[in-house]
Structure 1
Amino acid sequence: MPSHPKLAAEFVKNKDRAHWHDESLWFVRSKRDKAARQIPEWELLREQASKIKMHTISHLPDLLEEFERNATARGVQVHWARNATEHNEIVHGLLKKHDVTRVVKSKSMLTEECHLNPYLERHGIEIIDTDLGERIVQMQNMPPSHIVMPAIHMKKEEIGELFHEQLGTEKGATDPQYLAEAARQHLRQKFIEAEAGITGVNFAIAETGGFVVCTNEGNADLGTSLNKLHIACMGIEKLIPRAGDLSVFLRLLARSATGQPITTYSSHFHGPAPGAEMHIVLLDNGRSEISGSDEFRRSLNCIRCAACMNTCPVYRRSGG
């Protein structure tokens, strides 16, 4: 993988693109600020969320065991992975056990961290990202450039050309509604053909053994409801202690990410449907070590809203 300075040098050669990218990200950051100003208790919410996270990290082993007990009681099968290799092997093992060769996956930064897609592809499994932005960069064989808006670096003209080449849309088409409909039809077929669904996890609740997945497209719901196998991939820091804590984070997440009051879909999973299986893979991958570090422990507070990326002048001007 080329270094960021090398890739950034190429990105900033096109000054118009660099300026447009900068403005696009700052526009999202401005929406975040406007949404924050509409809530008088905004800073109190942030402070409360931070305290909940710090409490969680301080009691993580006990809370993880509580989550496992409660999830297992709901019929969820819980797996533990020390690193990315173990995570990928567990997921592949579950798919192999069920003779799965076609998978749909909703947005998950954890599976990007583990490079799950290329791992499964090497083992003969088709894995399709169903978040529209993720699917666009996957069709390019590129990683996402942003953790919330994976294809923010691309213009509609480039997406139109990509769709013309791979989906057979009209050459030169740039209308967002037309392109989105083409993607919808393409992905709908993939949903129907899939034999398993993989999701990430935004929040898991120790008290209940349930977890929440936040999307704006409903793809997590569709990808897990049309088949009998749901595998959720979760970093251990995504845990919160109580169901009552969830409202604090749901009020913060979408406002910080895109300026929305809440994501269009906040899907709650509390065990498999009748006749189906639900698995959750809990990944450490260095998180336990970070939790013991005074210097880096607070990084585990991250809820993946990307407000920091939208603020960072280097990222905004050089791309992801």
Structure 2
Amino acid sequence: MAERRSVLKGVLAASGAALAGVGTSAAAPLPGRRGPYSTPVELRWLGVSGWEIVIDGDRSIVFDPYLSRMPCLGPTGALDPGLPLRTDRAAVERVAERHLAGAPELILVSHGHFDHVADVPQLLGRPEWRRNRIRTVCDETVRHLLTAMGTPPERVADVIQVRGGEYLQFDGYTVEVFRSLHSQLADHGSFAPGRRAAPPRRPVTLGDLVEGETLAFQVSVDSGPRILLMGASNFVERELAGIRPDVALVPMTSHGAVHRYVERLLSATGNPPLLIPTHHDDLTAPLGAGLAAGDTGPSAAERLSRLAPGDCRVLDPGPLRPVDLRTAFA
């Protein structure tokens, strides 16, 4: 992977001379963009940063599935780590039964916070999926949290524990794992930091689900698109520099403490041709036709459009509505 990244950086350095003095809004096409795609791929937004990638109509990869949408804000309107962890089993089952393509082959988890991992144990324990092998790709903290939350032991045994830097081959697609960062609050702090080196007691509050190591992923489908998945509005620029996703799912939670987050992300990844905002809803409104925005003012799609180059398309997702990537670039 280091060799591949160095080659890409060399290409970028050569391109930079030709583009000197040109801002990202006028960047020329960069190497590695592909299409049209012969492999059918659909995306489905599950709310917050959750997504399902459906390959060939029935093969499913799920990222950060959080469907409970439990109360999480204190009296001041900020996330309250002391609130009880109250998963909504009926809501999780309803989405899994009615909207997901079936048992996922992979569940990718970016970090350990409640709005990313709380519903993973229930999904892994669904009786309807018992005969299907489901691999979970996550860091050590998330693996221990899954155990503490009662995930079936055979599912925990199938966890692929990663740290960032892994390049994983699967049947028909690859998954690259990148070291990443969590978004920061206005005072530069973060919600529920911490790591777990062993399974803790069973989590009972939101803050018991600690961050661990935040990760990002790129799923590259054979004869299909490359999709960048992030679970927070921050990243390690040197980790992503030189990758060329065709689709970037861009978290748009508050990131005022992070210097030029969107601009640096788009520059590092070569201005992906399709940008989709994510993690911009209010975390609690029922998952349906529309979700309340997490803040006031311009929509996440409008804010992203203002910062994106003119040759990038920004798509405003609707929850649970499939996006066909064979036509989404038009």
TM-score by length of 2: 0.29
The structure where strand makes up a greater share of residues is 2
TM-score by length of 1: 0.29
